Structure 1
Amino acid sequence: MLYSDDIVRGARLIKQAAAVAVLTGAGVSKESGIPTFREAQTGLWANYEPEKLATVEGFVSDPNLVWTWYDWRRKMVSNVKPNPGHFALVELEQLVPKFTLITQNVDGLHRLAGSRHIVELHGNISRHKCLKHGHVASEEVESDLPEPPKCHCGSLIRPDVVWFGEALGPQNLADSYAAAESADVFLIIGTSGLVQPAASFPFVAKRRGARLIEINPEETPLTREVDFFLQGASGVILPQLLEVLRDQSA
């Protein structure tokens, strides 16, 4: 099959790279049927501001409400599967010497697909942690609970995600910057590049000499900065890149 010159050149860059870093956003998960945070605020949830559902203050004020919201979202995530874009990234990880996948998504679909070297920048909706001390809950948390359970220390258990106003985990942040600094090729997939600090990672990579490849259905504020803009769904473009990579390696 014939592919565009940009896909062929992009695949050649990846083939020559010793280190590849990837940043994914909500667009990748949306292709699996997961709505964005704002889109998920429909029906019963349409009347609630994000500050009520995704902040520490909102959780402390009404823990049962926030717990129910996240339980609903967890159930929604449990009913979807990784898409071809997720699986293409799994194979890409196996083809390059050094690979880091940085995701802003909390649904865990990259891990479910089989990706190994992942930085879950904003956490994982399937994990839970202690509100007071921050340690990840080791015990399984039941679904359908009307209120959040308590940690062994007596504090409430909360979702292990980064809420509005919270700092990112220092190790996740350090790992992301390290991947950007060492990358020969940096892929930006399914993200608008507006949310900091993730939006800065491509620029860090570019300053260190990396080539940038963006895969998105529409142009974003990052498009003018990249070397190749591959327009389309990640579930379509990534498998095409992989097919060209295989041909080039044959």
Structure 2
Amino acid sequence: MLRSPPQAVFVLTGAGVSAESGLGTFRDAGGMWSRFDPMRLATPEAFAEDPDTVLDFYNLRRCGVLAAVPNAAHAALARAEARLAARGGRLFLCTQNVDDLHERAGSRTVVHMHGELLKVLCQACTRTFARRTDILRTDVCPHCARIGTLRPDVVWFGEMPHHRDAIEAALAGSDLFVAVGTSGSVYPAAGYVSLARARNIRTCEINLAPSDNADAFDEARYGRAGEAVPAFLAELGL
């Protein structure tokens, strides 16, 4: 374990950090993709073939996000960001989650590599904008006035994650890499621990149970994110 507070912390969060807020995970037993076929709901091809079904699915998910509240893990990461900033350090928060719970907990800089459910993308003009209500096929893009071109601004299977260059640059400049609530099976995020190890950056996994790439981490804390994350950050003086 690190004995002194790090100055540049890179935190990668996955669905497990929001599970205690009532938002479902994806790949574990009982997760979303064990109940729904992602190839029919989370690909560009699925949207082209049956946009109404895909939009209905994401409209329901948006309602779930709006009803959820941040938990103790979200709050602890926001506090750590503020404390590091006060010391001249930084916490780079990269999330695979499409919810806004980190922001609502007080995190000021959050990089959403898989997009944001509360934003809309126009496939015609490629502009994005905030949206908290349902997306319908009859909606008009406020930027280009096209009809039927709006979709959730989330990264579907077969699409490239957002902000990869900025994410990898921040990781390279860190002295601690922490993965919270991730499955360790979705790339490129699952490969970030290897990038960190290659640069001799200390690594830690915080998870309910060992991830698929748990062996790649220097250390681990297992338990509920709302307990394990605040405890780990307290050990670091954050």
Structure (1/2) with the larger helix percentage: 1
Deviation at 1:141, TM superposition (A): 6.1
SS at match of 2:128: coil
**Equivalent position to 2:155, from 162, 168, 171:** 162
Matches of 2:212 and 2:118, distance apart in 1: 31
Question: Please, what is the CA RMSD of the aligned residues?
Answer: 2.1
Matches of 1:193 and 1:142, distance apart in 2: 32
User: In the alignment, which residue of structure 2 is the partner of 1:209?
Assistant: 200
SS at match of 1:71: helix
User: In the alignment, which residue of structure 2 is the partner of 1:31?
Assistant: 20
TM-score normalised by length of structure 1? 0.84
User: In the alignment, which residue of structure 2 is the partner of 1:185?
Assistant: 176
Q: Which runs of 5+ in 2 are unaligned?
A: none
SS at match of 2:179: strand
User: In the alignment, which residue of structure 1 is the partner of 2:219?
Assistant: 228
1:69-108 correspondence runs (5 A): 69-96=57-84, 97-108=89-100
TM-score normalised by length of structure 2? 0.88
The residue type equivalent to 2:53 in the other structure is: L
Deviation at 1:128, TM superposition (A): 0.3
Deviation at 1:33, TM superposition (A): 1.0
Deviation at 1:241, TM superposition (A): 2.6
Go from structure 1 to structure 2 and tell me whether the alpha carbon gap of 1:221 and 1:146 turns closer, same or farther (over 3 Å shift).
closer
User: In the alignment, which residue of structure 2 is the partner of 1:116?
Assistant: 108
Deviations 1:182-213 (A, max 9, x none): 11000011012111101111211221121001
Deviation at 1:232, TM superposition (A): 1.1
The residue type equivalent to 2:157 in the other structure is: F
**Equivalent position to 1:57, from 39, 45, 52:** 45
Deviation at 1:223, TM superposition (A): 2.1
Q: Which runs of 5+ in 1 are unaligned?
A: 1-8
The residue type equivalent to 1:92 in the other structure is: A
Larger radius of gyration: 1
Deviations 1:66-124 (A, max 9, x none): 11111111111111111100000001112220210110010111111111121100001
Matches of 1:166 and 1:158, distance apart in 2: 14
Matches of 1:77 and 1:180, distance apart in 2: 28
Deviation at 1:55, TM superposition (A): 1.2
Percent identity at matched positions?
Answer: 38
Which moves more between the two structures, 87-96 or 219-228?
A: 219-228
Q: Contact 2:94–2:112 at 8 Å: present in 1 too?
A: yes
